[in-house]
Amino acid sequence: MKIAIVTHTVARGDGQGRVNLEIVRAALAAGFEITLVASRVEPALLNDSRVRWIEIPVGRLPTRLLQYQSFAVRAGLWLSRHRSEFDIVHLNGFIAWARGDVNSVHFVHQGFLRSGFYPFKFFGSASQAYQVMFNRLNARLERWAFKRTRVIVPVSHKVATEVAAHGLDVNAMQVIHNGVDNTEFCPGDAERARFNLPADVFMLLFAGDLRVSRKNLDTVLDALERLPAHIHVAVAADISGENPYAATVAARGLVSRVHFLGMIRTMPAVMRSVNAFVFPSRYEAMSLVLLEALSSGLPVVTATSAGGAEVIDPACGVVLDDPNDVDGLVAAIAELAAQPERTREMGQAARRIALTLGWDSMGERYLALYRRLAAAPNYQTSPGNAETTQRNTGSI
């Protein structure tokens, strides 16, 4: 089978890029031939003669909006000339001016705009006005792309609901959750000294971009201020520039309890060194770091607004209805810290869930979808089609 995958990146270090990397690995293991229409590809893939890379350079256009449009135009033109060469064309959201057989949806701009936690205002500043225009335009473009795809594959049921707001039938989609490396991220011995973390405290881990408030370290700090002094938080985030939370931490007297680790290249070791993962993100589609925490055997405290929360049950974590619920966050963390045996049991349950979400399992689900579509060229999950709706409900 010949597959074309269109995405900006196929490599580690990028959420969507890692998902596509693992799909490619699964496809190669199954004997497929792969063409990658992308700007960056993991070098090791190119050692395989069955992998062809159609490079679309990022270019020097001044904004991400223009860079993405340039990519979409060039990718669309290339596909229009070569579409007949492939059994399956796999797109990722609005990535090209082209029709696709499979479209993996990792983020829904319209969902972000309507989430209730959208932080930008058109008249706030020039940069905020750009963000508003970027997200509004991409919401229109993703709608165009979704309606021109045979099968839409949201990466979570939360994302499926957001796609449905574009007028598509949620039951006609096929949810395939992102995967996790269960070998790399696994329980093991703590290495707190390696990261200058105190040994005799209950250590939480928070991971996310601090440049925007969406990841919600704000509420974690609000909760920490009300929790006992033996509860600390390690923050894994890039602070190579100005740390926007340094002054807040100092003003609240939390300097000794908040440990900024910077950009971490050894996240598995960090996760083995903490007691629980706290991630009340105000908006996520499907967080890979949340799955990595589960795989590392960590109880997770998160919120329904974080994609991935849907795989967490009370046996392995706490899911708040509101990411800004400080009282709920305080209660959840305090209970974990006060019951070490239960916390360990929750970590074991987290690991069991993660073992069902490995990269291999995810890859096989995509391959099964490819085979079904290739065997039925007229198959399409059209909105309102009762037959396909019944056939495609839920995950595969």
pLDDT, tens digit, 9 for 90 and up, residues 267-317: 999 999 999 999 999 999 888 999 999 999 999 999 999 988 999 999 999
Taking the C-alpha atoms of residue 79 and residue 306, their distance in angstroms, rounded to an integer, is 34
Instruction: Match domain 192-354 to its CATH number in 3.30.1050.10, 3.20.20.70, 3.40.190.10, 3.40.50.2000.
Output: 3.40.50.2000
Residue-wise pLDDT for 77-124, tens only, equals: 999 999 999 999 999 999 999 999 999 999 999 999 998 888 888 888
Ranges for all domains in the chain classified under CATH 3.40.50.2000: 2-179+359-377, 192-354
CA atoms within 13 A on the CB side of 159: 28
Task: Find out whether 206 and 235 touch, Cβ atoms under 8 Å.
Answer: yes
CA distance 289 to 292: 5
* Nearest partner of 4 among 89, 96, 84, judged by Cα: 89
pLDDT score of 381: 64
**DSSP, res 86:** -
Share of the chain above pLDDT 70, in %: 96
Residue 243 confidence (pLDDT) above 90: no
Nearest to 8 by CA among 102, 91, 132, 100: 91
pLDDT of residue 123: 87
- 134 has pLDDT over 80: yes
What pLDDT is stored for residue 396 in this prediction? 31
Residue 170's pLDDT band (cuts 50, 70, 90)? confident
Q: What is the pLDDT of residue 376?
A: 86
- The reported pLDDT for the residue numbered 382 is 52
Mean pLDDT, the chain, whole residue set: 92
Please give the full DSSP string across 2-28, using - where no structure is assigned.
EEEEE-SEESTTSHHHHHHHHHHHHHH
pLDDT at 209: 86
User: Cβ distance 190 to 261 under 8 Å?
Assistant: no
> Per-residue pLDDT averaged across 60-67, rounded?
91
**Banded pLDDT at 384 (limits 50, 70, 90):** very low
- Residue range 2-179+359-377 forms a domain whose CATH class is alpha beta
Nearest to 90 by CA among 389, 390, 374, 310: 374
**Measured distance CA(47)–CA(86) in Å, rounded:** 21
Q: How far apart are CA 71 and CA 6, in angstroms?
A: 10
Do β-strands 88-92 and 40-41 pair in parallel, antiparallel, or remain unpaired? unpaired
